[in-house]
C-alpha cells in the first residue's frame, strides 16, 4: 500500500509539472499583450514591470544593453497609429514595428521578444530616428493589407512563410530577383521611403482574393526587376540572417539581418536598363542592421516594411 501511494504521488507531481510547462506557453493573444505591455514599459522606463529571465539578454542596434539602458531610457512616447505586431506561438516569440518617440523625436522601432516558460529571455530593439520632426505619410498608418487575416485558400504554413522570407535575402545577395517569389504588386517601404516599385504608382491595396494591381506601367521597376537590374550589387553580403517569427493568421513574417557594404568599387554595372549602364556609389564601407516584415499570401511576397540602422563596417550582431 505504501508503494502504491508513493507511485501515485510521483504521477501527481509529474502531471503537475507538465501542466505548469503547458501553462507557461504563451498563446497568440498572450504574445500580443506581452508586446503591448513591453512597449508601455519602455515609455514609463519600468523594466521591472516585465518578467525577465535571470539570464535574459537585450540587444539594441547590434549592441548588448541592460534593462534601463538604451530605449528603456530614451523612450518618451508610445506607439502612434503605425503599429505592426507579429506573434508566433511555435517559437514563443513576438516582434513588430512601431512609430514612437525617443528623446522627444519620432523614431521607427523594430523589436523582438523571445519567451521561455513565460519569461523574456531575449529582447531586441532596432531604433532609427526619423529625419526631421514630420512623420512621412508612409509611416502614419499601417497599409490596410498588413493586418488583414489571410483567407484559408491563400494562407501559407508557418514553414512556408519562413522559407519565402528567407528567399528574399538570397535574391538580393545574389542579384537574382527570380530567387524569391515576388508578386507583381510587391510594394517595399524602407525607413519610410517607397523603394519599390519605382516609375509609377500601384493603385489599390493588394487584398487577397482581388485582382493583382497592375505592374505594367511604362518605366515601372518592380521588386523583382529592380534586383535583376543589379541595383544591389554594391551589397557585398547579407550576414546574421534570422527569420524566426511567422504568423499564419496574417501571413506576416519577420527577418533580422545585416547588409554588409564593402564599397570596394565606386561604379557598379547595371543590366537591361535602357537609360544607363552603370551607377556611381561613392560611399565608405558600412553595415546596415535591418529588420524586414513581409506580407505573404498565395505563396508570394506582396508587401515589405523595413527599418534599417547604419553601423560601422563588420559590426557583430550583438548576439
Distances (CA, A) of 73 to 51, 275, 287: 18, 49, 25
Mean of the per-residue pLDDT values of the chain: 90
pLDDT tens digits for range 269-280: 999 877 788 889
pLDDT in tens, 244-298: 999 999 999 999 999 999 999 999 999 987 778 888 999 999 999 999 999 999 9
Does pLDDT of 213 surpass 70?
no
194 and 122 together in one domain: no
**What is the Cα–Cα distance from 38 to 40, expressed in whole angstroms?**
5
**What is the pLDDT at residue 196?**
93
Q: Containing domain of residue 37, as a range?
A: 23-138
Backbone angles phi, psi at 311, to 5 degrees: -145, 165
Does one domain contain both 126 and 175? no
Torsion (CA) 196, 199, 205, 210 in degrees, nearest 10: -100
Beta bridge partners of 238: 259
Domain boundary among 114, 138, 162: 138
Q: Inform me whether the pLDDT recorded for 212 exceeds 80.
A: no
Cell of 248: 499564419
175 lies in some domain: yes
Section 55-64 average pLDDT? 98
Question: Tens digit of pLDDT for each residue in 123-172?
Answer: 999 999 998 889 999 999 999 999 999 999 999 999 999 999 999 999 99
Domain check: are 149 and 230 in the same one? yes
Residues making up the chain, counted from first to last? 319
Instruction: Say if strands 105-116 and 237-247 run parallel, antiparallel, or are unpaired.
Output: unpaired
Amino acid at each position: 500500500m505504501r508503494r502504491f501511494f508513493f507511485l501515485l504521488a510521483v504521477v501527481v507531481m509529474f502531471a503537475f509539472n507538465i501542466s505548469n510547462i503547458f501553462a507557461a506557453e504563451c498563446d497568440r493573444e498572450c504574445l500580443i499583450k506581452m508586446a503591448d505591455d513591453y512597449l508601455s514599459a519602455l515609455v514609463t522606463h519600468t523594466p521591472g514591470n516585465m518578467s525577465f529571465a535571470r539570464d535574459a539578454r537585450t540587444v539594441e542596434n547590434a549592441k548588448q544593453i541592460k534593462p534601463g539602458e538604451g530605449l528603456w531610457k530614451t523612450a518618451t512616447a508610445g506607439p502612434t497609429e503605425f503599429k505592426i505586431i507579429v506573434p508566433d506561438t511555435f517559437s514563443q516569440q513576438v516582434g513588430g514595428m512601431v512609430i514612437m518617440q525617443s528623446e522627444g523625436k519620432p523614431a521607427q522601432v523594430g523589436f523582438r521578444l523571445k519567451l521561455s516558460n513565460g519569461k523574456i529571455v531575449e529582447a531586441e530593439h532596432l531604433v532609427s530616428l526619423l529625419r526631421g520632426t514630420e512623420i512621412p505619410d508612409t509611416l502614419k498608418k499601417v497599409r490596410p493589407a498588413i493586418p488583414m487575416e489571410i483567407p484559408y485558400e491563400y494562407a501559407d504554413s508557418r514553414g512556408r512563410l519562413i522559407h519565402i522570407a528567407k528567399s528574399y535575402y538570397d535574391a538580393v545577395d545574389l542579384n537574382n530577383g527570380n530567387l524569391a517569389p515576388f508578386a507583381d504588386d510587391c510594394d517595399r517601404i524602407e525607413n519610410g521611403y517607397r523603394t519599390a516599385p519605382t516609375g509609377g504608382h500601384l493603385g489599390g491595396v493588394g487584398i487577397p482574393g482581388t485582382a493583382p494591381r497592375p505592374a505594367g506601367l511604362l518605366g515601372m521597376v518592380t521588386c523583382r526587376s529592380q534586383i535583376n537590374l543589379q541595383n544591389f550589387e554594391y551589397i557585398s553580403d547579407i550576414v546574421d540572417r534570422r527569420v524566426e517569427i511567422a504568423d499564419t493568421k496574417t501571413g506576416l513574417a519577420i527577418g533580422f539581418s545585416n547588409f554588409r557594404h564593402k564599397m570596394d568599387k565606386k561604379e557598379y554595372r547595371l543590366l537591361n536598363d535602357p537609360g544607363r549602364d552603370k551607377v556611381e556609389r561613392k560611399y565608405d564601407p558600412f553595415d546596415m542592421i535591418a529588420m524586414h516584415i513581409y506580407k505573404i499570401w498565395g505563396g508570394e511576397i506582396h508587401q515589405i516594411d523595413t527599418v534599417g540602422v547604419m553601423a560601422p563596417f563588420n559590426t557583430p550582431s550583438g548576439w
